[in-house]
Amino acid sequence: MEIATIEGFPSQELFAHRACLVKMISPKVPLGEVLEDDS
């Protein structure tokens, strides 16, 4: 199974890390909105 990479990081790990940070910073923010917000 291949995992696409973003800037050298495995995307699954990157998204999991972002999701973890988001939960710590702002648990009320829907994950879907966070994943679509790349600004």
pTM: 0.28
24, containing H or E segment: helix 11-25
DSSP symbol at 34: H
Amino acid at the residue 16: A
Asked if the model's pLDDT at residue 1 lies above 60, the reply is no
Measured in whole angstroms, the distance separating CA 23 from the mean position of its chain's CA atoms is 11
Asked if the model's pLDDT at residue 16 lies above 70, the reply is yes
- Interval 17-29 mean pLDDT: 68
Whose CA is closest to 29, among 13, 14, 6, 18?
18
- Interval 32-36 mean pLDDT: 59
Cα separation, 1 vs 8, whole angstroms: 17
Cα separation, 39 vs 37, whole angstroms: 6
Asked if the model's pLDDT at residue 6 lies above 60, the reply is no
Q: What is the percent of the chain with per-residue pLDDT over 90, rounded to a whole number?
A: 0
